[in-house]
């Protein structure tokens, strides 16, 4: 996969912070140069205001979107977005035509940012950009209010199912919002409609049409900044994707397991406000490495004994654990985005293949217990999305080991699995609240009960042997 100069995911935290500071300082200097055309005092005043705006932006990211600051290319993407529109604004204003500034499609900002992040960040970036641009335009109050409202309309008309057809509707609504605001302000200032200028309305129409450039821009940014959009995630989740077809054909049991994990994880993501499309796609691909040795996983064994019966527990654990590494290699070969590969890497975290570890301990009681050979390489989940898939994977796999099913048994299963994972520190890097975890468990219980509703159970057995189902 193509890498960029700002692809600094593996850099130490201090270096990432220094690069972020450099990006912010460089952006501040560039913005001041774009905005100022006056004396030294004016330049200093502009520097103070711009620095304050960028400081607020930094604090916002630190408080609400810290994952952006952890990856320098994401920070660079936001800085570039703001700077690009300020440069465009300055260039358009140099044309020296009445109200020509109306043609600049500021609604593109929230559309693009919303596609990769969330509505709150999209609106904040839009607000910062138009406030800075307001220093250059003739009527800043009207300019800021008009573009902020149209940006809000753009976000409200977009849905989680981002498609090209939806963008056409968004474009139309942006045009209408501009026209409504324009005529309202015109009536306030002129007390009639007689002097309304057709040229301005045409500019707004062009503005809305230019919002459509968001679609090609989204795919461009995906390639250059290693971002991922809902449109791409929906495409990757298509069952006809070559890698998913490979999993379905060569490891059908693992494929069905992945489908179940995707279904329950997607619902959990919806409830806590995580990225549903990312969760579903990540869940579909999380076990893709099992195609390297499908017969070693119980869900793919149709009849006969398990091949693990003839292997040493350490060798068995090595085969099972290796599906993570094989999955990463396979995903890279098929050009799967790094955001999806993260689910392959993290869905077991640093947990222990307990089934084989216990088997080894039982066979070698005199040896000192050492879980290193039975531990997954990690890393641990680092986002709500990766944590949800880890939970769903363990819950769904372990539910298959129940001899009988009941509402109480399923509830106990879910509670115990997630409790053990918490105690093992698997979620120490994840920004999940107690309410989030409670809501996730409630979803898992409900969905599993729906899956096994026809079965009656009296007790939960066999779970104490561990979470790992080979």
pLDDT tens readout for residues 14-24: 888 899 999 99
Whether 369 shows a pLDDT value over 90: the answer reads no
Q: Is 96 left (phi over 0), alpha (psi -120 to 50) or beta?
A: left
- What is the widest separation between alpha-carbon atoms in the chain? 96
Angle ∠(345,401,322) on CA atoms, nearest 5? 25
pLDDT at 307: 81
pLDDT at 1: 37
Average pLDDT over residues 282-294: 95
pLDDT at 387: 96
Q: How confident is the model at residue 185 (pLDDT cuts 50, 70, 90)?
A: confident
Average pLDDT over residues 375-403: 92
Average pLDDT over residues 147-166: 80
Whether 359 shows a pLDDT value over 90: the answer reads no
Torsion of CA 437, 438, 442, 444, to 10 degrees: 20
Average pLDDT over residues 374-398: 94
Greatest mean pLDDT range, 28-42, 261-275, 440-454: 261-275
pLDDT at 37: 74
Whether 388 shows a pLDDT value over 90: the answer reads yes
Q: How far apart are CA 327 and CA 258, in angstroms?
A: 13
Whether 72 shows a pLDDT value over 80: the answer reads yes
Q: How far apart are CA 285 and CA 335, in angstroms?
A: 13
pLDDT at 160: 54
pLDDT at 3: 40
> Could you tell me if 403 and 462 are in contact, meaning their C-beta atoms sit under 8 angstroms apart?
yes
Q: How confident is the model at residue 407 (pLDDT cuts 50, 70, 90)?
A: confident
pTM over 0.85: no
Give, to the nearest 10 degrees, the angle between helix 384-399 and helix 252-272. Answer: 130
pLDDT at 465: 44
Whether 411 shows a pLDDT value over 50: the answer reads yes
Work out the percent of the chain whose per-residue pLDDT is above 90: 60
pLDDT at 401: 79
Whether 415 shows a pLDDT value over 60: the answer reads yes
Give the range among 117-131, 239-253, 270-284, 352-366 with minimum mean pLDDT.
352-366
Whether 5 shows a pLDDT value over 70: the answer reads no
Q: How far apart are CA 91 and CA 407, in angstroms?
A: 65
Whether 109 shows a pLDDT value over 50: the answer reads yes
Q: How confident is the model at residue 164 (pLDDT cuts 50, 70, 90)?
A: low
Task: Please state, in angstroms and as integers, the Cα–Cα distance from residue 403 to each residue in 355, 406, 445, 454, 468, following that order.
Answer: 17, 10, 17, 14, 16
Whether 324 shows a pLDDT value over 80: the answer reads yes
Average pLDDT over residues 387-399: 95
Q: Which residues contact 5 (CB under 8 A, 6 or more apart)?
A: none
pLDDT at 8: 45
Average pLDDT, the chain: 87
Q: How confident is the model at residue 40 (pLDDT cuts 50, 70, 90)?
A: confident
Give the range among 185-194, 200-209, 216-225, 436-445 with minimum mean pLDDT.
185-194
pLDDT at 419: 95
CB atoms within 10 A of CB 52: 11
> Could you tell me if 132 and 86 are in contact, meaning their C-beta atoms sit under 8 angstroms apart?
yes
Whether 458 shows a pLDDT value over 60: the answer reads no
Assign domain 230-465 to its CATH superfamily.
Hypothetical protein af1432 (1.10.3210.10)
Higher pLDDT, 362 or 347: 347
Whether 195 shows a pLDDT value over 60: the answer reads no
Whether 69 shows a pLDDT value over 60: the answer reads yes
Which residues in the chain are classed under CATH 1.10.3210.10?
230-465
pLDDT at 163: 63
pLDDT at 342: 95
Give the range among 67-81, 341-355, 359-373 with minimum mean pLDDT.
359-373
Q: How far apart are CA 41 and CA 51, in angstroms?
A: 15
Q: How far apart are CA 336 and CA 388, in angstroms?
A: 20
């Amino acid at each position: 996969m193509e890498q960029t100069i700002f692809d600094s995911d593996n850099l130490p935290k201090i270096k990432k912070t220094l690069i972020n500071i450099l990006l912010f300082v460089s952006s501040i200097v560039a913005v001041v140069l774009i905005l100022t055309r006056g004396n030294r005092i004016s330049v200093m005043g502009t520097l103070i205001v711009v620095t304050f705006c960028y400081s607020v932006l930094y604090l916002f990211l630190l408080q609400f979107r810290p994952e952006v600051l952890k990856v320098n290319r994401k920070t660079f993407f936001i800085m570039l977005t703001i700077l690009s529109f300020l440069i465009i604004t300055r260039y358009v204003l140099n044309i020296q035509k009445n109200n020509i500034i109306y043609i600049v499609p500021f609604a593109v900002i929230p559309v693009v940012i919303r596609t990769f992040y969330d509505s709150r960040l999209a609106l904040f970036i839009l607000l910062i950009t138009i406030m800075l641009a307001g220093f250059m335009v003739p009527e800043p109050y009207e300019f800021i209010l008009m573009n902020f409202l149209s940006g809000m309309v753009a976000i409200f008309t977009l849905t989680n199912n981002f498609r090209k057809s939806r963008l056409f509707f968004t474009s139309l609504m942006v045009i209408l919002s501009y026209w409504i605001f324009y005529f309202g302000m015109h009536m306030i200032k002129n007390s009639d409609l007689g002097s309304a200028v057709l040229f301005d309305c045409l500019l707004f129409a062009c503005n809305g049409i230019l919002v459509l450039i968001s679609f090609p821009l989204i795919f461009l940014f995906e390639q250059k900044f290693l971002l991922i959009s809902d449109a791409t995630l929906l495409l990757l989740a298509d069952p006809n994707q070559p890698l998913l077809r490979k999993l379905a054909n060569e490891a059908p049991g693992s494929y069905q397991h992945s489908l179940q994990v995707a279904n329950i994880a997607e619902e959990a993501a919806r409830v806590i406000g995580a990225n549903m499309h990312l969760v579903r796609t990540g869940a579909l691909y999380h076990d893709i490495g099992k195609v390297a040795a499908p017969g070693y996983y119980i869900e793919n064994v149709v009849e006969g004994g398990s091949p693990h019966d003839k292997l040493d527990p350490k060798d068995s654990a090595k085969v099972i654990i290796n599906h993570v590494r094989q999955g990463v290699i396979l995903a890279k070969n098929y050009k799967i985005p790094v955001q999806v590969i993260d689910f392959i890497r993290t869905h077991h975290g640093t947990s222990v293949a307990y089934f084989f570890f216990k088997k080894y301990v039982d066979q070698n009681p005199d040896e000192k217990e050492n879980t290193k050979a039975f531990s997954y390489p990690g890393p641990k989940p680092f986002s709500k999305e990766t944590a949800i898939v880890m939970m769903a994977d363990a819950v769904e796999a372990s539910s298959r080991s129940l001899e009988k099913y009941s509402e109480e048994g399923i509830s106990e299963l879910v509670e115990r699995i997630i409790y053990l994972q918490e105690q093992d520190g698997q979620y120490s890097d994840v920004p999940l609240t107690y309410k989030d975890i409670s809501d996730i468990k409630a979803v898992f219980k409900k969905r599993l009960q729906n899956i096994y509703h026809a079965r009656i159970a009296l007790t939960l057995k066999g779970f104490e042997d561990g979470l790992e189902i080979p």
